Structure 1
């Protein structure tokens, strides 16, 4: 009887270890190259379930590569992050050669964080700031939502089951957010959903980047709709 108990315990331990290895976790990864001086990258790296982690990591890497590349249409097909970092540095050297009198210093910083993680969905925010000599730098935040079971990158329309009702609720929160500042927006009465929709521990986050619905001076517009107002309309709860 004791031998059987030990055998069952060993089987349970092995099974538990295998399940733990499959559990998806994230570590922060800093990426640079030998001669890099102006690019700083710190992004989450998925580990655990290899098939799921690979899909997520490839999607995050593609955003980073596109952000650094001056020809984004070809970047994700032909370059790695390391190649993109070196190319960005090379472009800056070429700029200095062509305009030696310019005091402008280029910089690129890309940071990522896990906004939300459940057994159903994972939301990641990537913030990229690039300054390549213009009047001001270019700040872009990208939300990426993944199916936690498959690693599949989700579209905004995959997140909700009733887009019409979702948009109505979002419009009310948007109007509250910009109350008294309507003049700062292009068409405040013509509500559109943002390109960035994600999750945090409170609810669903909607974020508009610079120029998406307002001039640069207005900055980002962001608000959160609590889960309690949206549970019937969400696919990943």
Structure 2
């Protein structure tokens, strides 16, 4: 028995995979082009200290950011920022099988030297309330996750925070040089939000599913998803591949067939014309999944076989069919 659904994504990535990094780079390029066009349309013709126009300087600098951003520049930018961190606990306990947990969230903002908001990050994570070794280990995992994520935002020259700070500062300086004062920005501040989409208890496993939403400019942001599976007794993180009794080729065939059923049964033209071709060439279904009470949900990402507005296309395979 197979459950199939086509579901719009909800707002809500732990680590970026190759496809997500490519999507982020596309969004960055789009933002740079949009900003350049906006400045040209508004007639910004101020000059920087080296005599170049504000538009040209911003375009050149943004292009450099696309290829590489020196660590020294990132450090100076981050140190110059005004930062605000807040940790909050969500009221009320939640239940996943025999486990009780609650959600906590750490939020941090970065602003330019002139006080303009550049980026906001929100990290939501579960805190298990029991005292078993497994629960303690999972809580340790998420404490480390929050710490590593914040360190990455602060120090990685290619992080969303580094890019947002440089972009915001350049736009701020360009507007000041052109008009003598800072006007309204052409783009809203960047943001990255992580929410807990669900916690599932199945057999000897605890699964935590995250959704994320990243905005770096343009018409809309990009959603992301990530799932972590833990052994209940030890708290050790497990892989889906280690839990199923199918080879990677067998799994790809099973999941691909279910997606092809969805595409072939579509009568409203909701998929791209080459959706079937894309699915037939896809061999990494195991990387795009999360767990529910019914089974393992496999999904394709927006733009992969359908437009952005269609969200994620999903198929659910019951645990027994996967040997879990």
**CA distance in structure 1 between the aligned counterparts of 2:151 and 2:314, rounded to whole angstroms:** 25
Flag the 1:62–1:224 CA change in 2: closer, same or farther, 3 A: farther
Aligned partner of 1:173 among 236, 253, 258: 258
Query: Residue 200 of structure 1: CA displacement?
Result: 0.9
Q: Does 1:223 align with 2:223?
A: no
Flag the 1:196–1:68 CA change in 2: closer, same or farther, 3 A: farther
Query: Residue 219 of structure 1: CA displacement?
Result: 3.5
- Superposed CA RMSD: 3.6
Q: What's the TM-score once normalised by structure 1's chain length?
A: 0.66
Q: Does 1:122 align with 2:206?
A: yes
Aligned partner of 1:183 among 273, 286, 304: 273
**CA distance in structure 2 between the aligned counterparts of 1:208 and 1:141, rounded to whole angstroms:** 11
DSSP 3-state at the match of 2:186: coil
Would you say how many aligned residue pairs link Structure 1 and Structure 2? 198
**CA distance in structure 1 between the aligned counterparts of 2:218 and 2:153, rounded to whole angstroms:** 15
Where do 5+ consecutive residues of structure 2 fail to align? 1-97, 112-116, 176-184
Query: Which stretch of structure 1 is more off in the superposition, 144-153 or 113-122?
Result: 113-122
Question: Match for residue 29 of structure 1?
Answer: 104
Query: Residue 28 of structure 1: CA displacement?
Result: 0.7
Flag the 1:160–1:45 CA change in 2: closer, same or farther, 3 A: same
Q: Residues 76-95 of structure 1, C-alpha deviation per residue, up to 9 Å, x if partnerless?
A: xxxxxxxx9xx93x764443
Query: Residue 47 of structure 1: CA displacement?
Result: 3.1
**CA distance in structure 2 between the aligned counterparts of 1:157 and 1:73, rounded to whole angstroms:** 31
Query: Residue 26 of structure 1: CA displacement?
Result: 1.7
Contact 1:119 1:149 in 2 (8 A): no
Contact 1:145 1:153 in 2 (8 A): yes
Flag the 1:73–1:108 CA change in 2: closer, same or farther, 3 A: closer
Query: Residue 134 of structure 1: CA displacement?
Result: 4.3
Flag the 1:120–1:74 CA change in 2: closer, same or farther, 3 A: farther
The 5-angstrom pairing of residues 1-237 of structure 1 reads: 24-33=99-108, 38-49=120-131, 51-60=133-142, 65-66=148-149, 69=152, 88=161, 92-100=164-172, 101=175, 102-105=185-188, 106-163=190-247, 164-179=249-264, 180=266, 181=271, 183-185=273-275, 187-192=278-283, 193-210=285-302, 213-214=304-305, 217=308, 219-230=311-322, 233-234=323-324
**CA distance in structure 1 between the aligned counterparts of 2:107 and 2:156, rounded to whole angstroms:** 23
Contact 1:44 1:113 in 2 (8 A): no
Query: Residue 162 of structure 1: CA displacement?
Result: 2.2
Q: What's the TM-score once normalised by structure 2's chain length?
A: 0.50
Query: Residue 126 of structure 1: CA displacement?
Result: 1.0
Contact 1:194 1:208 in 2 (8 A): no
**CA distance in structure 1 between the aligned counterparts of 2:186 and 2:281, rounded to whole angstroms:** 42
Task: Pick 1 or 2: higher relative contact order, CA cutoff 8 A, min separation 6.
Answer: 2
Q: Residues 56-78 of structure 1, C-alpha deviation per residue, up to 9 Å, x if partnerless?
A: 23444566554994589899xxx
DSSP 3-state at the match of 1:32: strand
**CA distance in structure 1 between the aligned counterparts of 2:321 and 2:236, rounded to whole angstroms:** 26
**CA distance in structure 2 between the aligned counterparts of 1:140 and 1:91, rounded to whole angstroms:** 19
